[in-house]
């Protein structure tokens, strides 16, 4: 008799009501795969883009691209992991469930002293912050960066990693409470954008020079203002779109504003090799273990409350990482 598990399924794209708690068959690992008993699944904006249909996936599917747990079974040819291994992973769908399959090549062995919830909170958001600060734009002490949404899960990690490089960090936040979170992560300046025009304030704080790089996860509502914050030959890193997608625009604008650069990166391209995945995850795990990186978990929702968790993220209420607990 086939074993069943609880999982969230999306059978058609749309609103919160499309997140259906159901029972499905526990999957069997194939060649190169491991089955993980999920302890925590991480929530990310990409889950919302997939649920709404903004990012297309074959239907039906179980969302969730990051998790921590214990290897429960392995498929043929898997030699690096054995059942019982504590692992974490990201960029593989299916984590909103009691069990999930993942390629063994995507798994990272967790240090025994690292908590399961911390590991789940670190994988997608931590490695995103890592590639943004060290690879997309290699920050250094002579740079000034503007980071939007600095109180969120990724934003707060990005502030900490940017400060590791010695860069000056200017951030934006929507409320005094979120501003305090950005400051606690090490931000040098916090602009409350609901009270002050952030582009004008960045110019004031930089004596008119502007910043070397803008890290924008907000998108539609901040993109144009962010371009105005950049120095000539500065880089706009548009890595998310929490307020909606940026409208098509004339690339001539980049010329007019000082030969600016624009990139739209995503994590997959920055952990394309196993060596790069292990390097990024290994550095993050080590910094957490040494107390050099603070991972803030905001809320943990039961699996059955996935819709409430999505609503919480969509309302941009988050003050750290949001997790699901099967």
| Predicted confidence (pLDDT) per residue in 167-205, tens digit | 999 999 989 999 999 999 999 999 999 999 999 999 999
Q: Which of 129, 63, 76 is nearest to 103 (CA)?
A: 76
Domain ranges of the chain: 4-124+272-325, 141-264
pLDDT at 174: 87
pLDDT at 69: 98
Query: Is the domain defined by 4-124+272-325 classed in CATH 3.50.50.60?
Result: no
pLDDT at 244: 84
Between β-strands 33-42 and 261-263, what pairing exists: parallel, antiparallel or unpaired? unpaired
What percent of the chain shows pLDDT beyond 70? 100
CATH number at 141-264: 3.40.50.720
Q: Distance between CA 107 and CA 275 in Å, rounded?
A: 12
pLDDT at 2: 82
pLDDT at 243: 83
Residue ranges in the chain modelled with pLDDT below 70: none
Q: Is the pTM of this model over 0.85?
A: yes
DSSP assignment of 39-64 equals EEEE--HHHHHHHHTSS--PSSB---
């Amino acid at each position: 008799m086939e074993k069943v598990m609880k999982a969230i399924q999306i059978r058609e794209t749309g609103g919160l009501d499309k997140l259906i708690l159901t029972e499905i068959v526990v999957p069997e690992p194939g060649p190169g795969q491991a089955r993980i008993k999920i302890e925590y699944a991480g929530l990310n904006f990409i889950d919302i883009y997939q649920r709404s249909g903004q990012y297309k996936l074959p239907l039906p599917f179980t969302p969730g691209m990051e998790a921590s747990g214990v290897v429960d079974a392995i498929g043929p040819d898997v030699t690096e992991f054995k059942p019982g291994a504590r692992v974490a992973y990201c960029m593989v769908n299916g984590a909103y469930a009691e069990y999930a399959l993942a390629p063994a090549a995507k798994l990272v062995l967790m240090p025994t002293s690292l908590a399961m919830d911390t590991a789940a909170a670190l994988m997608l958001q931590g490695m995103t912050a890592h590639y943004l600060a060290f690879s997309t734009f290699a920050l250094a002490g002579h740079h000034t960066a503007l980071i939007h949404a600095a109180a969120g899960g990724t934003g707060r990690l990005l502030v900490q990693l940017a400060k590791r490089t010695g860069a000056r960090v200017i951030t934006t936040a929507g409320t005094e409470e979120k501003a305090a979170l950005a400051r606690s992560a090490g931000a040098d300046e916090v602009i409350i954008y609901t009270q002050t025009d952030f582009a004008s304030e960045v110019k004031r704080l930089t004596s008119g020079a502007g910043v070397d790089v803008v890290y924008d996860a907000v998108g539609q509502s901040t993109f144009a203002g962010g371009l105005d914050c950049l120095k000539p030959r500065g880089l706009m890193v548009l890595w998310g779109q929490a307020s909606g997608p940026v409208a098509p625009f004339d690339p001539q604008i980049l010329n007019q504003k000082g030969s600016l650069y624009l990139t739209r990166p995503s994590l997959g391209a920055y952990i394309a090799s196993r060596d790069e995945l292990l390097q990024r995850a290994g550095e993050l795990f080590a910094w957490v273990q040494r107390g050099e990186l603070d991972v803030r978990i905001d809320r943990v929702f039961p699996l059955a409350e996935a819709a409430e968790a999505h609503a919480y993220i969509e309302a941009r209420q988050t003050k750290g990482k949001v997790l699901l607990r099967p």
